[in-house]
Amino acid sequence: MRVISNKRLVDFAALHPESAVALQVWRKCIESNPVGHFAALKSLFRSVDRVGRFCVFDICGNRFRLVAAVHFDRQLLFVRHIFTHAEYDRWTP
């Protein structure tokens, strides 16, 4: 699966340095494991949930939330938002 775009991960990590390692580990795991459907993604990341048309990942022990649009048929994952837990609570999909 290809992650679009790593720049969002890096930019967020610049604001929240404690997330840097966890975000890059998450990215490498996604990129090295092709998943064809949500159930396969859920088996890879137990904390992923569907919220509307997005997949929401808990990052760094649930301190951060990564919201992504996942296109299983094209093996593309678009990072839409990365939030702190408090910011995520205010977000509406």
CATH code assigned at 16:
3.30.2310
The tens digit of pLDDT for each residue in 20-76 reads 999 999 999 999 998 999 999 999 999 999 999 999 999 998 899 999 999 999 999
pTM, two decimals, is 0.92
Range of the domain at 71: 2-90
What is the predicted pLDDT for the residue at 32?
95
Residue 93, pLDDT score:
78
The count of domains in the chain is 1
**92 or 8, which is more confident:** 8
- pLDDT at position 92 over 90: no
What per-residue confidence (pLDDT) applies to 16? 97
Q: Two tokens at 3?
A: 């992650």
- Are the CB atoms for 44 and 35 separated by under 8 Å? yes
pLDDT at residue 48 in the model:
96
